[in-house]
Amino acid sequence: MSARGILDIVNTILEAKLKTLPRNPGVYFHKSASGEIIYVGKAAVLKNRVRQYFQSTRDMDIKTRALVAEIHDTDWVETESEIDALFLESEMVKRYMPRYNILLRDDKSQTFVRIDMKSQWPHVEFTRNPADDGADYFGPYYNGFAVKKALRYLRMTFPYYTKVPTSDRPDLDVHLGLSPQPGSSSDEYKLVLRNLIRYLKGERVALVRELERDMKTAAGLQDFEKAAAIRNKLLNLRELQRRIMFGDKEFLNISKDKALGDLRELLGLTKSLARIEGYDISHMSGTNVVASMVVFTNGVSDRANYRKFKTRIEHNDDVYNMHETITRRFSEKNIKAWGMPDLLLIDGGKGQLDGALRALEERGMHVPAISIAKREEEVVIHKTRSNIVTDKIISLLNDPIPGVSVMSSGEYFIINLHAGQLNASSHSKNLRGGSVHTPYSDITKLFQRIRDESHRFAVSYHTVLKRAKQTASSLEEIPGIGPTTRKKLIRSFGSLRGVQAATTEQLESAIGKAKAQLLGKYLPHD
């Protein structure tokens, strides 16, 4: 089929829009006639990549041909670099779960960059499962090959270890300038890693300027060897830009996020939803009660600002637990440190929402707060206390639209933005059934993404505490092993199984020879 034939399929509005595609990197969204996002992709040059879909289909596979046949409209967001587009693409795929993004829908394919700056000699590694261990994680990235390739180039500018060094003898990486030179102190090495982290966070321009300044200063002082070394770093960075721009900045232009715009209109808010905080509670019959606070900045996850809480009094009462969490979140200290959110999204029903609203009222805060009930994923809003304008909701109650239902239940509005679609479980990643694409489908995807992330973060923290408590309770029965020693063992080996699997030398290194021998008498090893 010719390019003209393909363009005849799409509407004339789309044909005109394609002519305005920029030559910058970015993320594009293909949509069906109903407005559903059916594919999310990234591009180094948006103009070239997107227009390829509407050229000859001769070399296209069956899936791509089927996709092109469904495309009714296309939107895009420009980014600063290719790797920014790579990361934003991953986030949007996780949120919208498009039907044609088969290769990107499997969570097992995600890759994180891990750096533990608390270690004496931190090393850079890749993992698919970030742990709650205090290390810095950057990601997730769905194109692990591109990320690893970028880190290889960055290593030429910011030499780092890929594993904990076990010997002072220089290896091949040292000779190639990929690892710290012999004689480098831990502080000097960490300074290099901090610059690497700055680069991962998107501070490329500032770093280049600092290097250029340092190079000129060294040349002015006639330290030509140092100036040449800095010049080589700059050349390496420019080479990296030509091959792949790397950054960990995932923030989307808020004015172009349809879900945020629709949500703002639905809730009658005057401010942009730049910061949304999601909360969930996790415990086991009232023990190891924890709460998560996840942050979505401009519609996408901002992992650096996630926080976790452990309740001061353990209760098998999620209303009480949510009240305590929100009360602590809005302490004067935390407001100063974290700022103020534009919306709170509570995982739970009327009870959990009421607990959060009471905490806000006691703190004198007027922050919009709503909740999502687990069973049907219905949005719960208090008619007068949720700090929103309900005009739009009342209009939907009186004049409903297909796929959206609003009920008045006492002091609350119960809103179903996906009527006819069902959930497979209380924390399913996508809705099943139903074919109606409503004007609020994008909001539903955003809510699901925030809710799933807050649930994951809460459960991971609860699991860590549960394992630590199980280890501590078993160790309490051993005479001579006190609280300080138990903490050392938990910190060093993570769990009771870890302690049992440890060698005698590892135990002696962690708690000393005498206590290691005492432990061996009472605790059988695997």
* pLDDT average, residue stretch 305-309: 86
pTM over 0.85: no
114-118, 246-250, 353-357, 487-491: least confidently modelled range:
246-250
Q: Residue 291's closest CA among 238, 340, 329, 239? A: 329
Is the pLDDT higher at 462 or at 27?
A: 27
Range of lowest pLDDT (33-47, 437-451, 475-489): 475-489
Residue 344 and residue 370: Cα distance in Å, rounded? 6
pLDDT digits (tens, 9 = 90+) for 350-408: 999 999 999 999 999 999 999 998 767 789 999 999 999 999 999 999 988 888 888 99
Give start-end residues of each CATH 3.40.1440.10 domain in the chain. Answer: 3-105
Q: Report, at the CATH architecture level, how domain 254-460 is classified.
A: 2-Layer Sandwich (3.30)
Q: In this predicted structure, what is the pLDDT of residue 107?
A: 45
More confident residue, 510 or 8: 510
Between the ranges 55-64, 142-151, 261-270, 373-382, where is the mean pLDDT highest?
Answer: 261-270
* Higher pLDDT among residues 404 and 61, named by residue: 404
Q: How confident is the model at residue 523 (pLDDT cuts 50, 70, 90)?
A: low
**pLDDT top residue among 178 and 61:** 178
pLDDT above 90 covers a percentage of the chain that reads: 18
In angstroms, rounded to a whole number, what is the distance separating the alpha carbons of residues 360 and 394? 24
Q: Is the pLDDT of residue 94 over 70?
A: yes
Q: What is the pLDDT of residue 249?
A: 31
Residues 433-460: what's their mean pLDDT?
A: 77
Instruction: State yes or no: pLDDT of 108 exceeds 50.
Output: no
Is residue 115 scored above 50 in pLDDT? Answer: yes
Which pLDDT belongs to residue 292?
87
Asked if the model's pLDDT at residue 312 lies above 70, the reply is yes
For residue 73, list its beta bridge partners: 31
pLDDT at 326: 95
- Give the rounded distance of the alpha carbon of 44 from its chain centre: 23
Q: Regarding beta strands 287-297 and 405-409, do their DSSP bridges make them parallel or antiparallel, or are they unpaired? A: unpaired
Confidence at residue 61, expressed as pLDDT on a 0 to 100 scale: 61
Read off the amino acid at residue 334.
N
User: Chain-wide mean pLDDT for the chain?
Assistant: 78
pLDDT at 6: 52
Helix or strand or coil: residue 344?
strand
Confidence of residue 423 (pLDDT cuts 50, 70, 90): low
For the segment 328-349, the average pLDDT, to the nearest whole number, is 93
Kindly tell me if the per-residue pLDDT of 254 is higher than 60.
no
The mean per-residue pLDDT over the stretch 438-456 comes to 83
pLDDT score for 269: 92
E strand segments, 331-440: 343-347, 369-373, 378-382, 405-409, 412-416, 422-423, 431-432
Pairing state between β 307-310 and 287-297: antiparallel
How do 378-382 and 405-409 pair as beta strands? unpaired
Least reliable range by pLDDT among 60-64, 226-230, 375-379:
60-64
> 436 pLDDT band (50/70/90 cuts)?
low
Report residue 465's pLDDT band, with 50, 70 and 90 as the boundaries: low
Q: Where in the chain is the domain with CATH 3.30.420.340?
A: 254-460
pLDDT at 354: 95
Q: Region 58-78: what's the mean pLDDT?
A: 79
Closest CA to 331 of 377, 373, 362, 372: 362
CA distances from 419 to 392, 407, 440 (A): 18, 12, 11
Amino acid code (one letter) for 270: T
CA end-to-end span of the chain, whole Å? 66
Q: Give Cα 475 distance to the centre of its chain.
A: 36
Res. 129: pLDDT tops 80: no
Confidence at residue 186, expressed as pLDDT on a 0 to 100 scale = 84
**417 C-beta neighbours (distance < 10 Å), count:** 24
**Does position 234 have pLDDT exceeding 70, yes or no?**
yes
Dist. CA 407–CA 391, nearest whole Å: 14
300 close to 287: Cβ distance less than 8 angstroms? no
Give CA–CA dist 342/327, Å, rounded. 17
User: Rounded to whole angstroms, how far apart are CA atoms 189 and 159?
Assistant: 8
- The whole-number pLDDT of residue 475 equals 65
Q: What is the band of 421 on the pLDDT scale with cuts at 50, 70, 90?
A: low
Given pLDDT bands bounded at 50, 70 and 90, which one contains residue 191?
Answer: confident
Tokens of 368: 């919009």
**pLDDT tens figures, 130-181:** 777 778 887 666 667 767 877 787 787 788 888 877 777 777 777 777 788 7
Position 28 scores a pLDDT of 92
What is the DSSP code (8-state) at residue 437? Answer: -
Confidence of residue 119 (pLDDT cuts 50, 70, 90): confident
How confident is the model at residue 93, as a pLDDT? 78
The pLDDT tens digits for 477-500 are 677 777 778 777 777 776 666 777
**CATH architecture for residues 3-105:** 3-Layer(aba) Sandwich (3.40)
Instruction: Kindly report the length of the chain.
Output: 526
Show the beta-strand stretches assigned E in 378-519: 378-382, 405-409, 412-416, 422-423, 431-432
Q: What is the DSSP letter of 258?
A: H
